[in-house]
């Protein structure tokens, strides 16, 4: 059995390999939380931020509060992961961004050796008025694909607030992803949900993003970028409901199929219940654009190199 110190060193190492900033985890000025399986291995509070946690049998319950009016200079770094091949991790996360606060969170979820792992995230995010909250979540999975990832969130965005969420799963195999976010947008708020996923082998991807534009002049963008190879499958549902005067929403989905057995599906649902609201959508699903390929090949790239450049750009 490894000690907590060794365990911490191993997960920090994996965090670095997944693109995380290892130095940030050592800084006293930066709020951090590192969780392996159901154990909190390290946590640091910072001025204006309170992090509480509780270890549960199958995971961790954490609560992050940013005090009213506090503008946090350095993003909070979160690291969740399981290093063994098998395991279950349930994270219950409650985030409260109080009025006028500004904060960013950089989260890395790392499962480099996954053979039979379930990772669940159940988040309840409340963003007050005139606040800004950026959440960037990057996943790093191994090549086996033996993982089921189930991130769910309910988000409330207050008046004149900004919420930006980016979910990125482009390293290793996805395994099975069941992503489900629902956002309620207040008056003059701005919401942007971005999901970037690279599906390979037998990956099974389901993304559901739902935005309710409930406040006057609320604005939103749901943007999905997926590339599917081999026998990967994906279904992306982007829903936006314009329920208030002058609300504006847009759903933008691009899925590229780069393999004989891959299947991509996009279902945009746009609905307006207020005569002054407007919601639009666009979806492009199919193979890699022929003209893009020819352009890159005319610069001397071979077909495989050209595909890599295009895919890298889309998932960037």
Partner 1 sequence: MSSANMLQIENLKLILNGNPVINDLSLNVDKGEIHAVLGVNGTGKTTLAYLIMGVNYLPDGGKIIFEGEDITGYPISQRAKMGITLAWQEPARFEGLSIRDYLGLSNELEIGEIEDYLWAVGLPPFQFLDRAVDTSLSGGERKRVELASVLAMKPKFAILDEVDSGIDVVSLPHIVNGIVKMKSLGSSVLLITHNEDTVEIADRVSVMCAGKIFRMGSPREMCQWFRDNCQICGHINVPG
Binding residues for partner 1, rule: CB under 8 A, are 225, 254, 289, 291-292, 294-303, 309-310, 312-316
Separation of alpha carbons 210 and 247, rounded Å: 15
> Shortest approach of partner 1 to residue 311 CB, angstroms?
9
Nearer to partner 1, 162 or 301 (CB): 301
Across the beta sheet with 116-127, what order do the strands follow?
A: 49-55, 59-66, 86-97, 116-127, 147-157, 176-185, 204-213, 233-242, 263-272
| 275 vs 290 by CB, closer to partner 1 | 290
Q: Shortest Cβ distance from residue 197 to partner 1 (Å)?
A: 14
Pick between residue 84 and residue 313 the one whose CB is nearest to partner 1. Answer: 313
Nearest distance from residue 221's CB to partner 1, in Å?
14
CB of 19 to partner 1, least distance (A): 16
Q: How far is the CB of 171 from partner 1 (least distance, A)?
A: 16
Residue 41: name the closest of 12, 84, 83 by CA. 12
Closest CB 297 distance from partner 1, rounded Å: 4
Instruction: Convert the chain into a string of H (helix), E (strand) and C (coil).
Output: CCCHHHHHHHHHHHHHHCCCCHHHHHCCCCCEEEEECCEEEEEECECCEEEEEEECCCEEEEEEEECCCCECCCCEEEEEECCCCEEEEEEEEEEEECCCCEEEEEEEEEECCCCEEEEEEEEEEEECCCCEEEEEEEEEECCCCCEEEEEEEEEEECCCCEEEEEEEEEECCCCEEEEEEEEEECCCCEEEEEEEEEECCCCEEEEEEEEEECCCCCEEEEEEEEEEECCCEEEEEEEEEECCCCCEEEEEEEEEEECCCCEEEEEEEEEECCCCCEEEEEEEEECCCHHHHHHHHCCCCCHHHHHHHHHHHHHC
Nearer to partner 1, 276 or 303 (CB): 303
Q: How far is the CB of 251 from partner 1 (least distance, A)?
A: 16
Nearer to partner 1, 77 or 196 (CB): 196
Cβ-based nearer residue to partner 1, 1 or 298:
298
Query: Cα–Cα distance between 256 and 196 in angstroms, integer?
Result: 12
- Shortest gap between Cβ of 268 and partner 1 (angstroms)? 18
In the complex with partner 1, the residue whose CB is nearer, 29 or 289, is 289
Cβ proximity to partner 1: between 273 and 294 the closer is: 294
């Amino acid at each position: 059995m490894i000690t907590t110190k060794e365990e911490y060193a191993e997960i920090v190492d994996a965090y670095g390999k997944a693109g995380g900033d290892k130095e940030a985890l050592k800084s006293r000025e930066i709020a951090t939380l590192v969780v392996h399986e159901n154990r909190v291995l390290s946590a640091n509070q910072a001025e204006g931020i309170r992090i509480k946690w509780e270890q549960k049998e199958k995971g961790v319950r954490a609560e992050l509060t940013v005090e009213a009016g506090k503008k946090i200079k350095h993003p909070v770094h979160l690291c969740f992961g399981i290093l063994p091949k098998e395991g279950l991790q349930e994270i219950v996360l409650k985030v409260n961004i109080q009025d006028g606060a500004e904060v960013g969170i950089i989260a890395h979820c790392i499962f480099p050796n996954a053979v039979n792992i379930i990772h669940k995230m159940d988040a309840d995010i409340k963003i007050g008025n005139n606040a800004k909250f950026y959440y960037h979540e990057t996943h790093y999975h191994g090549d086996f694909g033996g993982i089921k990832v189930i991130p769910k969130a309910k988000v409330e965005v207050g008046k004149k607030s900004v919420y930006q969420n980016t979910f990125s799963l482009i390293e290793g195999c996805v395994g099975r992803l069941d992503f489900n976010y629902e956002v309620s947008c207040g008056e003059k708020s701005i919401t942007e949900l971005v999901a970037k996923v690279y599906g390979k082998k037998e990956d099974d991807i389901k993304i559901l993003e739902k935005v309710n534009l409930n406040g006057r002049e609320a604005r939103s963008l749901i943007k999905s970028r997926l590339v599917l190879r081999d026998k990967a499958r994906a279904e992306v549902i982007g829903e936006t409901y314009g329920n208030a005067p002058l609300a504006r929403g847009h759903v933008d989905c691009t899925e590229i199929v780069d393999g004989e057995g891959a299947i991509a599906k996009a279902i945009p649902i746009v609905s307006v219940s207020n005569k002054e609201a407007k919601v639009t959508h666009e979806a492009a699903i199919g193979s890699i654009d022929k003209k893009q390929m020819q352009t890159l090949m005319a610069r001397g790239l071979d077909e495989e190199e050209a595909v890599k450049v295009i895919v890298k750009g889309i998932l960037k």
